[in-house]
Each structure stands twice: as structure tokens, then as C-alpha cells.
Amino acid sequence: MEDGRIVELYWERDEQAIAETQTRYGMYCHRIAYNVLHSDEDAEECVNDTYVRAWNSMPPQRPSRLAAFLGRITRNLALDRYLFDRAQKRARSTELILDELEECIPDPVTAPPLAEEIALRDAINAFLASLPQKNRMVFLRRYWYLSPIKEIAADYEITESNVKVMLHRTRQSFKAYLEKEGIEI
């Protein structure tokens, strides 16, 4: 079933929307959650919570890209769960991935006001748009989907060393770009 029809089912409050969402995007959402949490049970719980959030969000929202909408919900739920687990001293690998970006992003303790947050979002989007497609996809796979380097290397048929170098250079470019845009790191 097409995304537009699935969204219509949500707007009609038809429970078939959840079944169709699960069929079309269940594995996608599970993969996102699993990359953050490294637990099938926790990932499945996040995916189920994603369906509930989608149900409660539509209406009033009418996403134009259902995959991105569901992916964002799943990722946010998984990161919330990760932070809870981290407080309990259970998770570690996700923290290592996020630490890689630490030198490129503003300190969350001194969170910027909304206007600066919007400027940061726009700068990130512009930076990503300026990258060659392969670099952009590798960067997103690592830092948005939190995919392991080994998996990225296999999917793009390059060595793990190539992925690491590509990510390092992209992070350096990203930091320089943000500084050029006047965004304090």
C-alpha cells in the first residue's frame, strides 16, 4: 500500500493503518531502534510505541514522507530509552558513536535559544546537501541511524578503514562549516 493511502487510513482512524505501517515499515523502524539500543526486545518496544505515536499524531499531522516521519519518531523513542538505560549504566556502544560527533556540535548543557537551534538545523541541512551523495549517506548512516562501521562498509562495498577516514574527514569539514557559519561549538 502506498504511503499516501496509509496516511489517509490514520486520518480516517482506521486501525488497518497500523497493520499497513507494520508491513511496510516495521523492519525499517526496528533497524533504527536496534542500532541505538542493541536489544531486539527494546527495539520492538520502541517500534510498537512508534505506531502509537503515529496514531496519536495523525491527525493533525499529515506527513509527506511517512518513512522519515516514522524514522524520526522511532529514533527519538530509542534515544530516550537509551538515555534511561545509560542512567542505569547499561548501554555503551551508542555513546561511543555520539562521542565521535562531540567536537562538531554545540554543547547540550548550554542549549541555544530556538532561533539559534533553527540556524543550526539549517546549517546542518545545507552542509549535508553540499556533500557528495556517498559521503552524505555514510555520514547519515553513522550519525542518524547509528549503524556500525562494519555494516556501512559492507553495504557500500568499501573497507572499514575507508569508512573511518571518510567519517573523520566529513566531521572535520562539518566542524569547519559550522564555524564558518558562526555557530559556536
- Cell numbers at 161, concatenated: 578503514
- Closest CA relative to residue 32, chosen from 73, 1, 66: 73
Residue 83 banded pLDDT, cuts 50, 70, 90: confident
Q: CB of 7 within 8 A of CB of 58? A: yes
Q: CA 57, 139, 110, 87 torsion: positive or negative? A: positive
As a whole number of angstroms, the longest Cα–Cα distance in the chain is: 50
**pLDDT above 70 for 98:** no
Question: DSSP assignment, residue 90?
Answer: -
Give the domain 3-90 fold.
Rna Polymerase Sigma Factor; Chain: A (1.10.1740)
Mean pLDDT for the stretch of residues 52-73: 94
**pLDDT above 90 for 152:** yes
Q: CA 38, 88, 46, 66 torsion: positive or negative? A: negative
Q: What Å distances lie between residue 157 and 105, 138, 166, CA to CA?
A: 29, 12, 14
Mean pLDDT for the stretch of residues 5-22: 95
pLDDT value for 126: 93
* Mean pLDDT for all residues in the chain: 87
Mean pLDDT for the stretch of residues 152-180: 94
Give the domain 96-180 fold.
Arc Repressor Mutant, subunit A (1.10.10)
* DSSP codes, 94-119: HHHHHHHTGGGS--GGGPPPHHHHHH
**pLDDT above 90 for 113:** no
**pLDDT above 90 for 66:** yes
Residue 118 banded pLDDT, cuts 50, 70, 90: confident
pLDDT value for 15: 94
Q: Identical fold at 3-90 and 96-180?
A: no
Q: What pTM did the predictor assign?
A: 0.70
Q: How far apart are CA 84 and CA 94, in angstroms?
A: 13
Residue ranges per structural domain of the chain: 3-90, 96-180
Q: How far apart are CA 21 and CA 118, in angstroms?
A: 30
Mean pLDDT for the stretch of residues 134-154: 92
